[in-house]
Amino acid sequence: MKYSKLFGRTIKEVPKDAAAVSHKLLYQAGFIRESTAGRYYFLPLGLKTMQKIQAIIKKEMDKAGGQEIVTPVLHPIQLWQETNRTNSVGFELMKIKDRSEMEFVLGGTAEEMLVDLVRKFQVSYKDLPFNLYQFSTKFRDELRARGGLLRVREFLMKDAYSFHATEEDFKKEYEKMKKVYTQIFETLGLKTVIVESDNGYIGGEYCHEFIVESEAGESKFLTAADGYAAHEDMAKFLREERNVKDIEKKMEEVDAVRGNSMEDGARLHKLPLWQQIKDLMMVDEKGNFVLAVIRGDLEVNEVKLAHLAKAYQLRHATEKEIRSLGSEPGFISPIEINKKVKIIGDTSLRTIKNAYTGANKKHRDLLNVNIDRDYKLDIEGDIALAKEGYWSLSKKPLVAKKGIEVGNIFQLGFHYSSKMKGAAFKDQKGKEQPYYMGCYGIGLGRTMAAIVEMHHDKKGIIWPESVAPYDCHLIEIQDSKGKSLAEEVLEKLKENGTEVLYDDREDVSVGEKFADCDLIGIPVRLVISKRNGEKIELKKRNSDKSELLTLNEIESRMPQ
C-alpha cells in the first residue's frame, strides 16, 4: 500500500475529550474516527488491525471446536420477554418497531437468539456439547461513552454460547475456554488477570473477567499474594474480630443531639467507628424496603446487597420514605423498625459487641446493642465492599487494581433453557431436559484499545507483530536511486506475502516520515537511502538499534 493513496492520514491534533492514550493515538495515527459519541468509523489501518484480532480469535475458537454462525442484529422482542430480559437489562436496551409494529431489540448479547436457533433442531444428548460463536455488532445504550474504544455504544463482539447435558460437562468447556482466552490474549500481546466476577441475576460460581491491568480501565479488582483476584463487586475478605469477647451490656436509649453522619455519632459517644452500626435504607424496583446493616467502618457493596435482596435495582430511600416508616434520617436502627422492612446484615456484625446506633427517633441513639439479643436479621451474608489493605480469606493483604475488561466467561446454567419453551435436548431415556449453558465474550474494539494502552511510547503505537496493520513500513529518502530500489524491495516483499506500507510521499520531509512511522507503530521500519547503497536499514519499532541488511537478508527476517 502506498501511503500517498491511503485513506486516513496521521494528524497532530487530538480530540478535545481524549483522555486515554489509546484514544489519542488511534485517532492521531489514522485508525479511527468518531461518528457520534461511542460510535466509531474504522479507517483502513484500524479495520486491518481489527481483522487481524478477529482472525486470531477465530483461529483459537475453531481449534477449540467452536462453530461460527451469525444471528440477525434485530432480535424479536418476544424472545427477550420470554426470559424477562426486557426488564432486567434496563436503559441500555435499544428497541425498534418495524412498519407492521413488530418490536425488536438491537442485540446487546444473543442468549435468547442462540437458544431460539438451537431449539429449532431436534437436539439429542449425542449432539451435546457444542459451542456456537459469532462476530457481530452489538449495541449498548451506555449512559456515557468514554476513552475512545474503551467504552462505546456500538461494537464488534465475539460472543460464544455452549450447550451441555450437565453442569459437569459445562465445567470442562469452561476450563477449556479459560485456556483458549489466555492463549488468544497472549497472542494479541496482552497479559490478562483472570478475575472472579459477579454474574448478575444468574449467579453461580463460574464467572470470570479477563482484565488487562491499566490505569485507563474502569474495572476495579482486588488481588492477593495467594493468587486471589476478584472484581470489586464481589471480592471476599476476612472480617477480623474486634471486641467480640466483651460481655454484653444492657442496652440503653440516650439523647443524641448530633449531625446525621457516622462520624458525628462516633464523636458524640467517644467510641470507635467500627463499634457503630451503619444502617442504609434502600428501596427495590417493586417499592419494597430493604435495610442494610453493617459494621460502621465498612461500606455496603450494593451489588452484593442486591443479590441477597433478590432485587434488579436498588436505590436509597428518600427522607420522606424513611419518616413514613416511623424512623428518622441519620437515626435509623434495626431495632423496632417497621415490620415491612427486610433487614439484611453483614457478617461483620458478628465481630463486635455493645454497638451503638440510632433509635429511629430524632436525636436519640441506642447504646450496647447486640445482634440476636436486641435485633434479628432477615438475611445474613456478605454485603461489604472489599478494599485495599483488608485481608483475603487466607490472610494475605488485598491490593486494589484497575484494568480493562477485554473478555468474560460465565455460566448461564439453566437460566435461559428453563425459561424458553422447547429449549431442551432428549436424554438417553428419550426424556426432554433443559440444557446447561455457558457464555464467552470478547469485545474486539476494546481489545484493540487495550493493546495500544499496553504497547506504546511517547512517539506512538508499538503494535505486536500479530495485529499490526502491515508487517513493515518502507521509507525512501528522496533520491532517484532510492526510488527504484524502494520499488524493487516493495515488489519482492509483496511476492513473499509480506504486507508493506510504503511511504512514497514526495512533499514530506524525512523527519515527518519517521515521525509518522513511529506514530502508526508498524513493527519493522525499512529505510532506503543513497547513503546506504544497496543495503537497507532495518529498525524495529520496539528497539533503538538499526541494522544494514541486503534485500535477501530482509526477506528472511519477515514473518512468513
Cβ contacts of 244 within 8 Å, gap of 6 or more: 350, 351, 352, 353
User: With respect to a copy of itself, which residue has the nearer C-beta, 120 or 250?
Assistant: 120
Backbone angles phi, psi at 179, to 5 degrees: -70, -45
Stretch that binds a copy of itself, among 120-128, 257-265, 347-355, 399-407 (CB under 8 A): 120-128
Residue of 295, 355, 60 whose CA lies nearest to 185: 60
Residue of 443, 402, 13 whose CA lies nearest to 217: 402
Stretch that binds a copy of itself, among 114-122, 228-236, 374-382, 384-392 (CB under 8 A): 114-122
Q: Is 245 in the site for a copy of itself (CB under 8 A)?
A: no
**Does residue 187 contact residue 402 with C-beta atoms inside 8 Å?**
no
Q: Is 141 in the site for a copy of itself (CB under 8 A)?
A: yes
Pairing of strands 472-476, 524-528: parallel
One-letter amino acid for residue 162 of the chain: S
Count of chain residues binding a copy of itself (CB under 8 A): 53
Backbone angles phi, psi at 4, to 5 degrees: -65, -20
Cα dihedral across residues 34, 35, 38, 43: positive or negative? negative
C-alpha to C-alpha distance for 456 and 250, rounded to whole angstroms: 64
Cβ contacts of 374 within 8 Å, gap of 6 or more: 251, 335, 366
Provide, rounded to whole angstroms, the least separation between the CB of residue 117 and a copy of itself.
5
Provide, rounded to whole angstroms, the least separation between the CB of residue 88 and a copy of itself.
16
**Does residue 375 contact residue 353 with C-beta atoms inside 8 Å?**
no
C-alpha to C-alpha distance for 342 and 339, rounded to whole angstroms: 8
Candidate residues 14, 70, 225, 393; the one interacting with a copy of itself per rule CB under 8 A: 70
Backbone angles phi, psi at 426, to 5 degrees: -90, 125
C-alpha to C-alpha distance for 303 and 234, rounded to whole angstroms: 8
**Does residue 276 contact residue 353 with C-beta atoms inside 8 Å?**
no
- Among all chains, which residue has been given the C-alpha cell 434485530? 74
User: With respect to a copy of itself, which residue has the nearer C-beta, 19 or 102?
Assistant: 102
Q: Is 422 in the site for a copy of itself (CB under 8 A)?
A: no
Phi-psi region of 42 (alpha: psi -120 to 50; beta: other; left: phi over 0): beta
Stretch that binds a copy of itself, among 97-105, 288-296, 316-324, 521-529 (CB under 8 A): 97-105
Candidate residues 52, 85, 153, 307; the one interacting with a copy of itself per rule CB under 8 A: 153
- Among all chains, which residue has been given the C-alpha cell 446487597? 305
Provide, rounded to whole angstroms, the least separation between the CB of residue 551 and a copy of itself.
25
Provide, rounded to whole angstroms, the least separation between the CB of residue 439 and a copy of itself.
16
Q: Is 76 in the site for a copy of itself (CB under 8 A)?
A: yes
Provide, rounded to whole angstroms, the least separation between the CB of residue 21 and a copy of itself.
21
- Residues between 41 and 60 that touch a copy of itself (CB under 8 A): 41-44, 47-48, 50
User: With respect to a copy of itself, which residue has the nearer C-beta, 67 or 318?
Assistant: 67
Q: Is 424 in the site for a copy of itself (CB under 8 A)?
A: no
Candidate residues 12, 121, 247, 429; the one interacting with a copy of itself per rule CB under 8 A: 121
Q: Is 65 in the site for a copy of itself (CB under 8 A)?
A: yes
User: With respect to a copy of itself, which residue has the nearer C-beta, 58 or 539?
Assistant: 58
Q: Is 69 in the site for a copy of itself (CB under 8 A)?
A: yes
Q: Is 481 in the site for a copy of itself (CB under 8 A)?
A: no
Q: State the residues that interact with a copy of itself by CB under 8 A.
A: 4-9, 33, 35-36, 39-44, 47-48, 50, 65, 67-76, 91, 94-96, 98-99, 102, 104, 106, 113, 116-117, 120-121, 126, 130, 132, 136-137, 139, 141, 143, 153-154
